[in-house]
Structure 1
Amino acid sequence: MLMTSRSFPSTAAASMPAARRVLRIGLLWHSLSSDNLGVGALTESQLALCREAAELAGVDLEFVLFGTSGGQSYGPQGVKLAQGSAVSVRQMPGGRSAYEREVAACDAVLDIGEGDSFTDIYGLRRFAFMLASKQMVLRQGVPLVLSPQTIGPFESRPVRWLARRAMRRCARVFARDELSMSYLESQGLGAAATEVVDVAFRLPFVRPVRDSEDAMIDIGINVSGLLHSGGYAGANQFGLRVDYPQLVRRLIAHFTAVDRHRVWLISHVVPDHLPRDDDRVAVRELLQAFPRARAAPQFGSPSEAKSFISGMDFMTGARMHACIAAISSGVAVVPLAYSRKFNGLFATLGYPWLADGKAQDTDQALQTILDGFERREQLAADARRSNALAQARLDVYRDYLADLFRQCQRA
């Protein structure tokens, strides 16, 4: 149930003069309970950037979250948060949608599209749902910002037209990679768009303290349950050339054959109700075959996951936000791409160390990852350089938010 404005504690006593205005910001397609820690990482990072922007603008913020929920519970302390109603397309006719009424009470809405969901590659039904959630904001006259995300691809001509029409009405569109920005420019939307980077580069973390006498090499393998099971529908849904289960097994066998290696299998998506997407299911199966490998702990939040990953000497993975956690904490990593969101993002940052599951076969991808391991000092240096570029790009997004909040304050 959405909290009303009276439900939030006052920021100042009534007798105090010049209290800062409190703006209500809707966060669409965000979640602080998602079993996909990537979605959680986007949300935690968005909150951090909004708070930075609010300080620059001299305002206070309260947030309403609209998006999917899961079995987790995490989020920063000291933030005024309310859970909004579910997006209901069925309730749209006749103004019966509680979501639409709650959106109308917001000063602005930031829509992050769960990072990569504004597309039709996941099916027309999901695209229609994403589009409707935006249209309901726009028809209330509330400023809608598409926060940094992958835009497209849109395979169908009618879908491209609908997406372009919606984006033209947004206050601003932020692409998180150069491929998305190129697409926006091709659709005549370049003037209303800005290329930045994934907000998860701003996710807070605490690096673990390493025992100075520990000579082991910590290797993280982020196992994707989704790729291990062939996709949501099975049968190699993403059209990979790589045999993903075989690749992971060969990697584990190679690394665990060396006594000095400590090999961690890392889960980053953990939905109890979707076993095909659950990284833990694949990890349990692999541990039976490779008892020398270790399961990373189940994390209580995206920040906990990033903190653990920051202690690795090398990592490879097929969950993009697990790889972002590595790069943004200076860890050598070779991501395994299964969609263009990987290629676009890491190319944007000039980070060339990428195995491509759609372009490479299993032997080629394996060799790319093993070469990265041998050159991990160079990869770590490149990760630090790419992270510095990412932080500068996110400052551009933060400064836009500060300007937006100033405009909302004057409205």
Structure 2
Amino acid sequence: MAPLRITLIMHSTRSDNLGVGALTVAEVDILRRLAAEAERTAQITIVDFKDARTPYVTGDDIRIVDLDRRFMTRPGGYLALARASDMVVDIGAGDSFADIYGSARLKKMFLLKALTHLAGTPLVLAPQTIGPFTGGWTTRAALASIRRSAVVATRDALSTQALRDMGFAGAAIEASDVALRLPYTPPAPRPEGAQLRVGLNVSGLLMAGGYAGGDKLGEGDYPDLIRRLIRHFTQELPGIELHLVPHVIVAGGRMQIEDDQRASAALAREFPDVVLAPAFASPSEAKSYIAGMDFFAGARMHACIAAFSSGVPVVPMAYSRKFAGLFGTLGYDHTVNCTGSSADAVFAAVTQGWDTRKTLARDLATALPRGLARLDVYEAALRALIARIPAR
């Protein structure tokens, strides 16, 4: 039987942001499994940005094609690839299918979608944040592409509502984040009486004040909040081992403002009692480490998803609606809104989360199966699409 030829766009095999990588690793794992169920081999081509990191998605069934202007525009480039594919899966880098990040990124996404439609190849919108779209032309262009897609999936109720507000009346799957299925190695049992472990993800971007500088956290600033949390867990609570856990790890000298590792290393020099996690080589390696924590908090959403999906009580420190959308849709209502709260309120939410971690664990045990069940619906839609693709 002929292989199933799948192309992934707006995924990444080598992003410094391990959250984007987690989406890709999990998506590939899902597609491999579904292809095997259909008794077909998968040939997966990932159209990827030219990042410096060594790819963490590998295998005989994986081909990586660099994304650049020439590949997108020449006839033998992306259009030819889309025509040769049985399906194209677009995850929008998780939250990029919106106009809040500027027009350059969105125009590139619109072009890839339009070429897929032109090729006549089924386009799958994998679970992602959709919107907000605030411009007239961006809303119209997004809606036109969504209406032509074979599968439309969101990862939260807010995105589903955004679809409806745009005027989309078609079938939409309200799934969850595919990174809930990211493979990882569970931690080995620890001896009785071992120190409890708290994981804290520190955003390098927020420590630097954001892209524009001077980003504020309610009535206080983010670096001060982080230092307060470090002092609390290392100086005021005995028997706790605090781990600083980066999730955006910049290779080389590029985009250092984003680098959680650099920011965490500086804090580790300032607070020698903390444990600095290693510079992870892959999303699964990061999740395996996070799974060994007894409690977690952080500003990178996929670091929080790694905790949540491995059973670790977590307080997500949200800086966009995607946090509350994802966790709130599953009934896990322990996200703290950092943009609308004072530093004292955020500090209290994190420290109270630690104090009530058994309650968080019970809520997680109910919410996680909801997320996995929602992904089952997405996978069923993929399974039905694969069944319709002839083994040519």
Deviation by residue 1:82-125 (Cα, 9 ceiling, x = unmatched): 11241427963xx4461222222111100001101111111112
Q: Is the 8 A contact 1:332 1:376 kept in 2?
A: yes
How far did 1:310 drift? Answer: 0.6
1:116-155 to 2 correspondence within 5 Å?
116-155=95-134
Match of 1:294 among 250, 253, 275: 275
- How many angstroms apart in 1 are the aligned matches of 2:217 and 2:168? 30
Number of corresponding residues: 389
Q: What letter matches 2:188 in structure 1?
A: V
Match of 1:46 among 9, 27, 38: 27
Unmatched tracts of structure 2, length 5 or more: none
- How many angstroms apart in 2 are the aligned matches of 1:306 and 1:63? 24
Q: What letter matches 2:132 in structure 1?
A: P
Q: What letter matches 2:136 in structure 1?
A: R
How far did 1:335 drift? Answer: 0.3
SS at match of 2:364: helix
CA gap 1:79/1:197 in 2 versus in 1, 3 angstroms: farther
CA gap 1:292/1:85 in 2 versus in 1, 3 angstroms: closer
Instruction: Report the TM-score when normalising by structure 1.
Output: 0.90
CA gap 1:85/1:99 in 2 versus in 1, 3 angstroms: farther
Corresponding residue of 1:249: 227
Q: What letter matches 2:309 in structure 1?
A: S
- How many angstroms apart in 1 are the aligned matches of 2:66 and 2:354? 46
SS at match of 1:139: helix
Match of 1:235 among 183, 201, 214: 214
How far did 1:312 drift? Answer: 0.3
SS at match of 1:335: strand
How far did 1:135 drift? Answer: 1.2
Q: Is the 8 A contact 2:88 2:124 kept in 1?
A: yes
Match of 2:325 among 332, 338, 344: 344
1:207-246 to 2 correspondence within 5 Å?
207-236=186-215, 243-246=221-224
1:21-100 to 2 correspondence within 5 Å?
21-75=2-56, 78-88=59-69, 92=73, 95-96=74-75, 98-100=77-79
- How many angstroms apart in 2 are the aligned matches of 1:206 and 1:150? 28
Unmatched tracts of structure 1, length 5 or more: 1-19
How far did 1:161 drift? Answer: 1.4
Q: What letter matches 2:230 in structure 1?
A: I
CA gap 1:139/1:77 in 2 versus in 1, 3 angstroms: closer
- How many angstroms apart in 1 are the aligned matches of 2:72 and 2:189? 54
How far did 1:187 drift? Answer: 2.2
Deviation by residue 1:212-262 (Cα, 9 ceiling, x = unmatched): 1343110000111111112223232x8866521111111001001133110
Corresponding residue of 1:384: 365
- How many angstroms apart in 2 are the aligned matches of 1:110 and 1:199? 13
Corresponding residue of 1:108: 87
CA gap 1:241/1:56 in 2 versus in 1, 3 angstroms: farther
Q: Is the 8 A contact 2:13 2:57 kept in 1?
A: no
- How many angstroms apart in 2 are the aligned matches of 1:79 and 1:360? 48
Q: Is the 8 A contact 2:147 2:170 kept in 1?
A: no
Q: What letter matches 1:163 in structure 2?
A: A
- How many angstroms apart in 1 are the aligned matches of 2:76 and 2:104? 19
Q: What letter matches 2:317 in structure 1?
A: L
SS at match of 2:126: strand
Q: Is the 8 A contact 1:62 1:81 kept in 2?
A: yes
Match of 1:355 among 336, 341, 348: 336
CA gap 1:241/1:353 in 2 versus in 1, 3 angstroms: same
How far did 1:56 drift? Answer: 3.0
1:270-285 to 2 correspondence within 5 Å?
270-272=249-251, 273-285=254-266
Corresponding residue of 2:162: 183
How far did 1:79 drift? Answer: 5.0
Q: Is the 8 A contact 1:269 1:277 kept in 2?
A: yes
Q: What letter matches 1:34 in structure 2?
A: S
SS at match of 2:332: coil
Q: Is the 8 A contact 2:297 2:316 kept in 1?
A: yes
Deviation by residue 1:151-191 (Cα, 9 ceiling, x = unmatched): 01112222111111121111121100000001112223242
Q: Is the 8 A contact 2:49 2:66 kept in 1?
A: no
Match of 1:199 among 163, 173, 178: 178
Q: What letter matches 1:255 in structure 2?
A: F
Q: What letter matches 2:134 in structure 1?
A: E
Q: What letter matches 1:407 in structure 2?
A: R
SS at match of 2:389: helix
Q: Is the 8 A contact 2:127 2:153 kept in 1?
A: yes
How far did 1:280 drift? Answer: 1.2
- How many angstroms apart in 2 are the aligned matches of 1:50 and 1:62? 10
Match of 1:266 among 245, 261, 267: 245
- How many angstroms apart in 2 are the aligned matches of 1:193 and 1:398? 13
Instruction: Report the TM-score when normalising by structure 2.
Output: 0.94
CA gap 1:81/1:126 in 2 versus in 1, 3 angstroms: same
- How many angstroms apart in 2 are the aligned matches of 1:173 and 1:226? 31
How far did 1:52 drift? Answer: 2.3
- How many angstroms apart in 2 are the aligned matches of 1:190 and 1:202? 29
Match of 1:316 among 290, 294, 297: 297
Deviation by residue 1:302-325 (Cα, 9 ceiling, x = unmatched): 111111101100000011110000
CA gap 1:79/1:239 in 2 versus in 1, 3 angstroms: farther
